[in-house]
Structure 1
Amino acid sequence: MTITLSSMAKSRVAIFLALLLAINPLEASALQSLDKYVNSKHLAAPGLLILNALDGQVLAANSPDSLRVPASVLKLVSSTAALHFLGAERRYVTSIFATERKDAYLIKGSLDPWMSSNLTLAKKNGQKYLPSLVSKANPENRKKITLYYTSLFEKDRYDLSLNLKRKGIKATFKKVDSAKAMQLAKEEIASLTSLPLSEMVKFVTLYSDNTLANRLAMAAAREIGFERTSEGLTKTFVLALEELGVNTQGLKAKDGSGLDKDNRLSAQTVVELLTKVRENPKYQAIYEGLPVAGVSGTLKKRFIEDGPGAVGKVKAKTGWLRNTVTLAGYAKSADKEYVFAILADGINPTLTSRNRARAAMDRLLEAIVIGNH
């Protein structure tokens, strides 16, 4: 009997063989000594791959091409797509115009992904404060106004309405298309220009902001003419990664934040992406924004107890859902830098299990950092 392999099966075999060949004798013992960490019951057989960034040597691997739930590690893909198609220097302008009526104004937006109606957050994060436009257009503080608007996210419009209501201003909002906006607009009164997109990406990777990540992903899809749907996002991500030479087999995106449990990504894809990101200045914002173990962002409280030897030595994107804990990034060990992805999507859906998985990851990376392998 003759057995034939499908093209997909051949591809997976090829990847597996390549990984095996990449392990030289000098690193073979290292891989074996890491087995107890990789095979921790608390990780429940994760999709995992750890490479030497300089020469591509495999330090550890476990089903690296299996498709897993990435959780917020997907934000690495969203950020890459945004930088790839929009550019690090992209900025968004939101303006307010006078109209023929003294009590009516036009807000002309550009779907700024990072607008805020919370003054404290705006000052803290560098976001633009949308209510400031209305204040400049309405110095008389009229209590009843009409705001025509175009290209504003619904959440931003709603937050603005609440802000004005708290100030005693009753605003009637009327959405218009671009043609109507041109007819209404008279003199421009004021405008807001966002920080560059690179700063938004840094914020996403550092603090794992779901709304901003999703908006950046949608903006990338819109830029290249794809629908802002699951299918459109998947096509956007695949195109961006393939143009970077990254394997995208099986990649599936339901959103840009990683919150959907039906997102799929392999550790192989993540590691390849991180390798490309590290090499190319165009994507430097991703690396710069990554949390540092025990120091910043979503890793500020990690590693301190369970992997103190790795504090300050690991930069990585975190992620979690009910039965999933993920981590992907870079680990420094002496003069070497390792690129890694750990996608543990089979753990018990409890806080205790998730914390144990996090601790297991921290210990694994500490072993790599201190050379205990």
Structure 2
Amino acid sequence: MLPLLVLVTLASIAALYVRGDLNPILCDGPCAPQYVTPPEGLATQSPDPDEAATVGSGPIDAGALATAVAGPLQSEALGGRTSLVAVDARDGAVLIDDAEGAQIPASTTKLLTAVAVLQEWGPDARFETTVVRDGQRLVLVGGGDPYLTDTKSKGSSVERADLATLAAATAKQVGRGPVTLGYDVSLFVGPAVSPAWEEGYVGGVVAPVSPLWVDRGRVGAGRSTDPAADAARRFAELLQARGVDVTGTPTQTEASGTTIATVRSAPLSRIVEQFLADSDNEVAEVLLRQAAIKAGEPGSFAGGAEVVAQVLADAGVDMAGLVINDGSGLSRKNRISARTLAETMAEVSETPRLGSILSGLPVGGFSGTLEDRYVQSGQARGLVRAKTGTLTGVHALAGVVTLSGGRPVAFALMSDDTEGVNPFVTQAALDRVVAAMADCACGA
């Protein structure tokens, strides 16, 4: 018999594995789905073995699905303007089209941003932050790595590049100096702050968009109002700590000369997974510009919006009423229809290049912004993967729900007229609609 200490140790390791605490060691970050033991209830339901040959082979019963959601959709907590569109994720057939036209999407806008950047760059793309030297002049060049950090973050799957590592590599090339330092943010153009954002957002809930920042422009509980300059000043301090004599104050400029040091971001697939799970506004805006740049458009709000529209058009997604002012969904002037979102999620479900969108979506009752939702919703727990969207009076969900029997349905549910309702009550009402779909034995 094994000693008690050995048994306890093995049990502890098993618990850590299931929780994912060993992922940074085993997988260099979050493990891919095939290497993870799913929590009870998270795996897609499998049909009875005797029925395996027939379940899921026929069309979904659209009438039964509509009947299942009819009652929950009548809730007064959803306000006076609610849309629900559901699409068979396997063949694109529209199952429910109960829509009010284009509505305020809030953070479900991030789904379109993720689709655009992955289609343009591919999941393996990485973004570089570099140092260029011209004589005794150094320039820190922002390459649009949204997760660039001050120092290396242990175990993070996305915070792969850091200024401390870049400073160490630079110091080896330049010795003790003296040198001057500039910073180049010319990768992005146009306004760093959307004119469609409400006053007070910048510095409070979002930083000005920049291809160069550390820790996503965060300063304590707030945001920097000049993240590129802050990053350059920090880089100067790190160089000085390495013995490099940096003279003067870093100034904005455009780089010319020879690249002497480089750090690279995490793969785009990891970045997309993380920003969707966290619903990160700053990362969304950087990725919108990266999509624009790769497509040959200006790295701006407007350039990104053009590319989002083009990518959706190329995929055959309905874009009626589409208006995009940013990549995060902070703008209340954005308009996206539930049809656009549902068809986009159907496209995501069928396109391997976009797989990190699905794997990054919060899971009902388990992770991200849905961790505390669907916990009491029976079969819906673990069967809903969706992006949330929330602004004052606005609530949305868009993603994929697995019906009873194992059939995946892409959906979008939007309400943008709920100012007079407690937001938690509206969230619960939305969850009941989606739970009704999960509980429906509508798959043939």
Q: Deviations over 1:333-357 (max 9, x none)?
A: 22211111011111116xx622111
User: Partners of 1:27 and 1:117 in 2: how far apart?
Assistant: 52
User: Partners of 2:419 and 2:441 in 1: how far apart?
Assistant: 29
User: Partners of 1:134 and 1:226 in 2: how far apart?
Assistant: 32
User: Partners of 1:220 and 1:91 in 2: how far apart?
Assistant: 13
User: Partners of 1:252 and 1:112 in 2: how far apart?
Assistant: 26
Counterpart in 1 of 2:139?
A: 106
Counterpart in 1 of 2:386?
A: 316
1:362 Cα deviation from its structure 2 partner: 1.4
- Alpha-carbon RMSD across the aligned residues, in angstroms, is 3.0
Q: Which runs of 5+ in 2 are unaligned?
A: 1-58, 186-209, 215-227
Instruction: State the one-letter code of the partner of 1:284.
Output: G
What secondary structure, in the 3-state scheme, does the structure 1 residue paired with 2:139 have? strand
User: Counting helix residues as a fraction of each chain, which structure ranks higher?
Assistant: 1
Structure-2 change in CA distance of 1:119 and 1:89 (3 Å): closer
Instruction: State the one-letter code of the partner of 2:211.
Output: F
1:285 Cα deviation from its structure 2 partner: 1.2
Instruction: State the one-letter code of the partner of 2:71.
Output: K
1:286 Cα deviation from its structure 2 partner: 0.8
Q: Which aligned pairs between 1:238-253 and structure 2 lie closer than 5 A? A: 238-253=309-324
What secondary structure, in the 3-state scheme, does the structure 2 residue paired with 1:115 have? coil
1:227 Cα deviation from its structure 2 partner: 3.5
Q: Deviations over 1:59-99 (max 9, x none)?
A: 544226x0101111010100111011222222112223555
User: Partners of 1:30 and 1:93 in 2: how far apart?
Assistant: 47
- Equivalent in 396, 405, 415 of residue 326 of structure 1: 396
User: Partners of 1:232 and 1:97 in 2: how far apart?
Assistant: 27
Counterpart in 1 of 2:115?
A: 80
Q: Is the 8 A contact 1:330 1:338 kept in 2?
A: yes
Counterpart in 2 of 1:291?
A: 362
Instruction: State the one-letter code of the partner of 2:358.
Output: Y
- Equivalent in 131, 135, 138 of residue 96 of structure 1: 131
Structure-2 change in CA distance of 1:225 and 1:134 (3 Å): same
Q: Deviations over 1:274-328 (max 9, x none)?
A: 11111111111111111111111111122114x2431111111111111111110
Q: Which aligned pairs between 1:107-256 and structure 2 lie closer than 5 A? A: 107-117=140-150, 119-120=152-153, 123=156, 125-138=158-171, 146-151=180-185, 153=211, 155-156=213-214, 157-161=228-232, 163=234, 172-178=249-255, 181-182=256-257, 185=258, 188=260, 190-256=261-327
1:106 Cα deviation from its structure 2 partner: 2.9
Instruction: State the one-letter code of the partner of 1:107.
Output: L
1:247 Cα deviation from its structure 2 partner: 1.1
What secondary structure, in the 3-state scheme, does the structure 2 residue paired with 1:42 have? helix
Q: Which runs of 5+ in 1 are unaligned?
A: 1-23
Deviates more, 1:219-228 or 1:197-206: 219-228
Does the alignment pair 1:40 with 2:93?
no
Counterpart in 1 of 2:419?
A: 348
What secondary structure, in the 3-state scheme, does the structure 2 residue paired with 1:340 have? strand
Structure-2 change in CA distance of 1:193 and 1:26 (3 Å): closer
Counterpart in 2 of 1:302?
A: 373
User: Partners of 1:309 and 1:296 in 2: how far apart?
Assistant: 16
Deviates more, 1:352-361 or 1:283-292: 352-361
What secondary structure, in the 3-state scheme, does the structure 2 residue paired with 1:364 have? helix
Structure-2 change in CA distance of 1:144 and 1:119 (3 Å): farther
1:133 Cα deviation from its structure 2 partner: 1.4
Instruction: State the one-letter code of the partner of 1:153.
Output: P
Counterpart in 1 of 2:23?
A: none
1:191 Cα deviation from its structure 2 partner: 1.8
User: Partners of 2:123 and 2:64 in 1: how far apart?
Assistant: 42
Identity of aligned residues (%): 28
Structure-2 change in CA distance of 1:283 and 1:76 (3 Å): same
Q: Is the 8 A contact 1:88 1:196 kept in 2?
A: yes
Counterpart in 2 of 1:7?
A: none
- Equivalent in 99, 103, 106 of residue 68 of structure 1: 103
Q: Deviations over 1:90-127 (max 9, x none)?
A: 211222355533xx533234232332226548946434
User: Partners of 1:25 and 1:283 in 2: how far apart?
Assistant: 24
Instruction: State the one-letter code of the partner of 1:293.
Output: G
User: Partners of 2:299 and 2:139 in 1: how far apart?
Assistant: 26
Structure-2 change in CA distance of 1:353 and 1:141 (3 Å): farther
Counterpart in 2 of 1:274?
A: 345
Instruction: State the one-letter code of the partner of 1:75.
Output: K
Q: Is the 8 A contact 1:88 1:198 kept in 2?
A: yes
Instruction: State the one-letter code of the partner of 2:402.
Output: K
Deviates more, 1:267-276 or 1:214-223: 214-223
User: Partners of 2:325 and 2:385 in 1: how far apart?
Assistant: 26
Matched length? 338
User: Partners of 2:77 and 2:237 in 1: how far apart?
Assistant: 49
Counterpart in 1 of 2:87?
A: 51
User: Partners of 2:156 and 2:322 in 1: how far apart?
Assistant: 37
User: Partners of 2:353 and 2:178 in 1: how far apart?
Assistant: 47
Structure-2 change in CA distance of 1:124 and 1:236 (3 Å): closer
Instruction: State the one-letter code of the partner of 1:39.
Output: Q
